[in-house]
Structure 1
Amino acid sequence: MSFNPRTFRNALGCFPTGVTIVTSLKEDGAPIGVTISSFSSLSLSPPLVLFCLDDRNSELDSFLRAGHFAINVLSDAQQDLSDRFASRKSGKWDGVSWEPWNSGVPILNGCLANFECALVAVHDGGDHRIFVGQVERMRQSEEGKPLIYWRGNYVGLSDSLS
């Protein structure tokens, strides 16, 4: 069976997702970050998460070489960060509030949750790579609502999905 790529993408867009920014460090210590909606928990014991990154992403090699990454779960007040890290523009990190944790990877401030992970495996997944990480440190906020992406747009929890 063959699929029209646009139709397939539109059908996938019917599944609302949270929005994250995955961060790490280049070999020279410069921070990198990419907006990702393909994030999932994988295992509770051991605590494993995964994210998927397009093979064409300009930061792919840096993520493959990095031993750690962080998943930063965005709140609905952080749409500007999502847009910024989804772009290819320079200066993504200008004015962004972050802190290094144990591994040194950037942990974005003001998120609903942050997960610092050791990279344990990378798998081929069609036109993406699947990165699996073991959570080494995390924090969560009891305040705020998630940034949600659905049918190509941001929506809020109070928004009608019809």
Structure 2
Amino acid sequence: MLEAASDTNHTTIADTEIPPHRFRTVLSRFATGVVAIAALDTDDRPIGFTINSFTSVSLEPPLVAYCVTHTSRSWPSIRAARRHCLTILADTQRSVCTRLAGKELNKFEGLRWSSSPTGLPILANSLAWLECSVAAEYPAGDHVIVVARVHHAESGDAEEPLVFFESGYGTFDAS
């Protein structure tokens, strides 16, 4: 019979603090895809930003989730829009990603995009896109976790994903 070892010198979660820079460095070792979130503002101009915290949640009903920082200047307008579009970026879209991650006022100037069936911005040459509406929001530290209902989804023509790893961009070789 095996007996469990007892350790009386363990720490509790409340006793542990990880400095933000160390936490960011550790998490940078997790490769993720990159997604652009876009909508139209009240003047029908495209607005958006990029995220790398994106996941599927449910097939029935179709739900996805992503995290948005509290400091996002674009999120309040996107939240206020009835629907928004998520574009999964391809490896050829590094410059698109950099532009949407910036702080410029007109991030879509010079970017190629088309409209979804309901008029939302879909970035050209992407892997896929999903038209969504916010189903729920959950505060989580310095971010909000957004659960979105998917109303429409299509695959694009691109074949290779844009990958974010160790604070840099690359691609994925499936072989």
- Indicate whether the TM-score tops 0.5: yes
What is the aligned-residue identity percentage? 34
Residue 107 (structure 2) pairs with residue 92 (structure 1): yes
* Matched AA of 1:59: S
2:93 aligns to what? 78
1:17 aligns to what? 32
Aligned to 2:129, the other structure's residue is in SS state strand
Distance 1:61 1:142, change over 3 A: closer
- Structure 1 unaligned blocks of 5 or more: none
Q: CA deviation at 1:90?
A: 3.3
Q: CA deviation at 1:71?
A: 0.9
Distance 1:78 1:143, change over 3 A: closer
Distance 1:20 1:29, change over 3 A: same
Contact 2:83 2:131 in 1 (8 A): yes
Which structure has the larger Rg over C-alpha atoms? Answer: 2
1:31 aligns to what? 46
* Matched AA of 2:91: D
Write the distance in 2 (CA, Å) between the matches of 1:20 and 1:126.
21
Write the distance in 2 (CA, Å) between the matches of 1:13 and 1:33.
23
Contact 2:126 2:157 in 1 (8 A): no
Output one character per residue of 1:22-75: Cα deviation in whole Å (capped at 9) or x when no partner: 111222322111011111111011110111110011112112212211110011
2:84 aligns to what? 69
Write the distance in 2 (CA, Å) between the matches of 1:143 and 1:30.
26
Q: What TM-score comes out, normalization by structure 2 length?
A: 0.84
Residue 153 (structure 2) pairs with residue 153 (structure 1): no
Output one character per residue of 1:89-128: Cα deviation in whole Å (capped at 9) or x when no partner: 2332122222222332211121001001122112212111
* Matched AA of 1:130: I
Q: What TM-score comes out, normalization by structure 1 length?
A: 0.91
- Structure 2 unaligned blocks of 5 or more: 1-15
Aligned length in residues: 158
